[in-house]
Chains A and B, each alone.
Chain A
Amino acid sequence: GAVVSQHPSRVICKSGTSVKIECRSLDFQATTMFWYRQFPKQSLMLMATSNEGSKATYEQGVEKDKFLINHASLTLSTLTVTSAHPEDSSFYICSANAGTSGRNEQFFGPGTRLTVL
């Protein structure tokens, strides 16, 4: 089946630094990838939709200058948390759509645990 990887799986950084998280579709091309944020014991909240070759679409309330998304190729999307603060600590999960509509399954990455000290 389709595999999505994330790197790193876990990152600890100091407040004020920037952190980049990579999401890769390993055996398929993904024109659309999604970034979710999950707080402890809570559900996944969609942050943004990442489209290859174009600007990401952010959900209401998500700061686009804070969470920079780049989808430079059909197999890679990156999320950069700029000037991270402790409140940005969370579990970040990406997913990739293997088809051209929501009918096709989204494949989820294993997640990245970000801890900002």
Chain B
Amino acid sequence: AQSVTQPDIHITVSEGASLELRCNYSYGATPYLFWYVQSPGQGLQLLLKYFSGDTLVQGIKGFEAEFKRSQSSFNLRKPSVHWSDAAEYFCAVVNTGGFKTIFGAGTRLFVKA
């Protein structure tokens, strides 16, 4: 069965520091991969997505993610975190044959001054 693992429940980084949020997936083939961000009480905003091609994907707000097939990973990175990046981040997969989206448990990002 498909699954998505985000090993870190929460992460705290200093403003201006780099960030990496981990995501591992379990799927028989290469799925479609997504990262979303959610502010408290809000819906989801798509940061970036990977379907095929270049394994380094650029997204909005200065985020990027790298798909590594050998590690079944799709980690999210940002070189310099801003206080406004504090939020919940979800990694998600969609099977290539259909629509169903499976979300990871989420990682809460705290940014300290």
Contact = CB atoms under 8 A, between A and B. Distances in A.
B24 to A, nearest CB: 15
B99 A113 contact: no
B94 A102 contact: yes
A110 interface: yes
Interface string B78-102: 0000000000001000111111111
Contacts of B32: 102-103
Nearest to B105: A43
Given A43-B104, A109-B43, A102 B90 contact: no
B43 A102 contact: no
B8 to A, nearest CB: 13
A102 to B, nearest CB: 4
B41 interface: yes
B103 interface: yes
A113 B49 contact: no
Interface in A53-106: 91, 93, 95, 97, 101-103, 105-106
Contact of A43 (B41, B43, B98, B103): B103
Interface of A: 6, 32, 34, 41-46, 49, 91, 93, 95, 97, 101-103, 105-106, 108-111, 113
- Nearest 6 CB-CB pairs, A to B? A102-B94, A110-B43, A108-B44, A108-B43, A43-B103, A102-B99
